[in-house]
Amino acid sequence: MSNIVETKCLIIGSGPAGYTAAIYAARANLKPILFTGQTPGGQLMITTDVENFPGYPNGIMGPEMMEDLRKQAERFGTEINYELIERVDFSGDIHKAYSDGGKEIHAHSIIIATGADAKWLGLESEQKLMNKGVSACAVCDGFFFRGQEVAIVGGGDSAAEEASYLAKLCPTVHLLVRRDELRASKIMQERVINNEKIKIHWNTSTQEILGEEEVEGVRTINNVTKEVSEIPVKGFFVAIGHKPNTDLFKGVLDMDEASYLVTQPDSTLTNVPGVFACGDAQDRIYRQAVTAAGTGCMAALDAEKFLEDKGVH
Ligand code: NDP
């Protein structure tokens, strides 16, 4: 039996962008319905301290911040569904979306805030040992490797942050950096370089993750000298960036070559009227919680104006 839900404003995604859009849309009386997707709260659910979100002088834990945002969105009347949108149909005047829980949503406007997911190296051994020592989330899985040596790949802020986190649990953290410099911000670089538990392996790529039933080590190659080495580790973490969650909109919404949704300058408007995009799904440059929240606010204001112009009250 079809389960049709009608709304003025459907929000897809539950990170800072989705919840902020929900707060603004609810306060504008759009009675938004928000679908959380597979990870309610988004990427901040797998981070520790957020120290750069304005208003928290002592920092705040990512999950706690997302819980606060959810409560704030609900306080103004956002209806939250813990389901995943699996398919969309933007061909008609009323946009349609279909959830894995069997709901068919008919929406006058849609705000896309589907965020981004971790990238993987693409090695067979990475697949084989997934959740058997291989992880893309130090905060989720680091605890399992306390007291043991681990490796982490990447040179950005994520890798630096996760290496620092792991160093609180593990005697040695091998940071595998493919170039001779880190991409991370200066403050994060300093933390990593000054942490004596973090051993940085410059110009180093991963050839193979070793082990059959669980991770036993990593085989690396020095990209300059071509020297191959093996490092015995029990945990192997990947922190090499993210991919926007936009597969759902392929062939429907304009995207750039890296699959980020394209919005019109100074707005969140996509190429489909009534469909707006915000957060990490459309932002390949800043990708911060605060900028995601900012574009979430913009999307709600754009949706409100669209509905008003359309005469939907
Ligand atoms: P980034 O894209 O910034 O960095 C990815 C890193 O992974 C780069 O060092 C890159 O190397 C390396 N890399 C990519 N592919 C491979 C590969 N196949 N093998 C080995 N290394 C690889 O991603 P992040 O997730 O670190 O950060 C994303 C955004 O989020 C950034 O804007 C960052 O500032 C922000 N962020 C902020 C935090 C904070 O402020 N607390 C915490 C975490 C993220 P190369 O440099 O050679 O390209």
CA of 12 to the centre of ligand 1 (A): 25
Pocket test for ligand 1, best of 180, 183, 220 (most atoms within 8 A of CB): 183
DSSP 42: G
The reported pLDDT for the residue numbered 165 is 95
Cα separation, 12 vs 253, whole angstroms:
15
DSSP 94: S
Cα separation, 263 vs 182, whole angstroms:
30
The reported pLDDT for the residue numbered 198 is 98
CA of 285 to the centre of ligand 1 (A): 12
Tabulate helix, strand, coil % of the chain (nearest 5).
30, 30, 45
Alpha helices per DSSP H over the chain: 16-27, 62-75, 124-128, 138-141, 157-167, 186-193, 289-310
Share of the chain above pLDDT 90, in %: 87
CA of 239 to the centre of ligand 1 (A): 7
Residues 6+ apart with CB under 8 A from 21: 11, 32, 111, 113, 278, 296, 297, 299, 300, 303
The reported pLDDT for the residue numbered 49 is 73
Cα separation, 16 vs 56, whole angstroms:
15
Q: Which residue in 109, 83, 82 sits closest to 95, CA to CA?
A: 109
Q: Which of 64-68, 86-90, 108-112, 129-133 has the lowest mean pLDDT?
A: 129-133
Which residue's CA is minimally distant from atom 16 of ligand 1?
240
Q: Which residue in 204, 203, 157 sits closest to 183, CA to CA?
A: 157
The reported pLDDT for the residue numbered 37 is 95
The alpha carbon of residue 46 and the mean position of all alpha carbons in its chain are separated, in whole angstroms, by: 9
Q: Are 138 and 165 in contact (CB under 8 A)?
A: yes
Does residue 135 or residue 204 have the better pLDDT? 204
Ligand 1 pocket (Cβ < 6 Å) reads: 52, 121, 153-159, 161, 178-179, 183, 240-242, 287
The reported pLDDT for the residue numbered 88 is 98
What Å distances lie between residue 265 and 143, 165, 269, 271, CA to CA? 43, 38, 8, 12
Cα separation, 121 vs 159, whole angstroms:
14
pTM: 0.77
Pocket test for ligand 1, best of 52, 65, 157 (most atoms within 8 A of CB): 157
How many alpha carbons fall within 13 Å on the CB side of residue 90?
A: 19
Cα separation, 91 vs 85, whole angstroms:
17
Q: Say if residue 283's pLDDT is above 90.
A: yes
* Average pLDDT of every residue of the chain: 95
Which residue's CA is minimally distant from atom 39 of ligand 1?
157
Q: Say if residue 117's pLDDT is above 90.
A: no
Q: Which residue in 114, 137, 21 sits closest to 70, CA to CA?
A: 21
Tell me the pLDDT tens digit for each residue of 236-282. 999 998 899 999 999 999 999 989 999 999 999 999 999 999 999 99
Question: What's the mean pLDDT in 100-111?
Answer: 97
Question: What's the mean pLDDT in 185-204?
Answer: 97
Share of the chain above pLDDT 70, in %: 98
Cα separation, 66 vs 306, whole angstroms:
28
Cα separation, 208 vs 222, whole angstroms:
13
Cα separation, 273 vs 40, whole angstroms:
27
Q: Say if residue 48's pLDDT is above 80.
A: no
CA of 227 to the centre of ligand 1 (A): 25
Pocket test for ligand 1, best of 164, 240, 284 (most atoms within 8 A of CB): 240
Question: What's the mean pLDDT in 211-226?
Answer: 98
Q: Say if residue 118's pLDDT is above 80.
A: yes
CA of 90 to the centre of ligand 1 (A): 34
Strand partners, 88: 97
Tell me the pLDDT tens digit for each residue of 132-177. 999 988 887 898 999 999 999 999 998 999 999 999 999 999 999 9
Instruction: Give the Cα-Cα-Cα angle 24, 273, 66 (nearest 5 degrees).
Output: 30
By annotation, the residues acting in catalysis are: 137, 140-141
Tell me the pLDDT tens digit for each residue of 83-96. 999 999 999 999 99
